[in-house]
């Protein structure tokens, strides 16, 4: 197996679990959100506020398709599942694990303004709506 790819809603602990899992397996760890920050020199909230959602999606999509690692635990951004080409690329020789967290716990972990947390979603869309929109995609891509 080449990689372990973690998917799930923001606030499910992909980065925390990913770091612990990588250490335990002797794998590298990479957080796709960190790669976005490194690529742009901006935080996720800055990208969303200054450049807009479409620009964020474009950058995230490129980061996903450019990820070529081996023996790595990859924590994806919560919206990575919106890109079929990224998920097909990430699934190659990898196990995709959906970290499921009850919605009430996710809700407790999120600020009122989702952009403050760097969550990519159309303005005005509620956390519940994001959860409902993505749940089937998480299930579709998870091994």
71: left (phi over 0), alpha (psi -120 to 50) or beta: left
13 sits in the region (left: phi over 0; alpha: psi -120 to 50; else beta) called left
Contact 63, 35 (CB under 8 A): yes
109: which DSSP letter?
A: H
Beta bridge partners of 37: none
* Residuewise pLDDT in 10s, the chain (143 residues): 689 999 999 889 999 999 999 999 999 999 999 999 999 999 998 998 899 989 999 999 999 999 999 999 999 988 999 999 999 999 998 999 999 999 899 888 877 766 666 778 777 888 889 899 999 999 999 99
Q: What is this structure's pTM?
A: 0.91
């Amino acid at each position: 197996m080449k990689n372990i790819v973690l998917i799930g809603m923001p606030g499910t602990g992909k980065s925390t679990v990913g770091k612990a899992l990588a250490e335990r397996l002797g794998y590298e760890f990479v957080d796709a959100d960190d790669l976005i920050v490194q690529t742009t020199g901006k935080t996720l909230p800055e990208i969303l506020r200054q450049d807009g959602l479409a620009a964020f999606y474009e950058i995230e999509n490129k980061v996903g398709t450019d990820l070529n690692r081996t023996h790595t635990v990859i924590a994806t951004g919560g919206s990575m599942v919106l890109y079929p080409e990224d998920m097909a690329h990430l699934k190659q020789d990898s196990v995709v694990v959906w970290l499921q967290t009850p919605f009430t716990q996710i809700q407790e972990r999120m600020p009122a303004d989702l952009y403050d947390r760097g969550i990519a979603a159309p303005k005005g869309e509620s956390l519940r709506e994001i959860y409902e929109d993505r749940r089937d995609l998480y299930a579709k891509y998870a091994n």
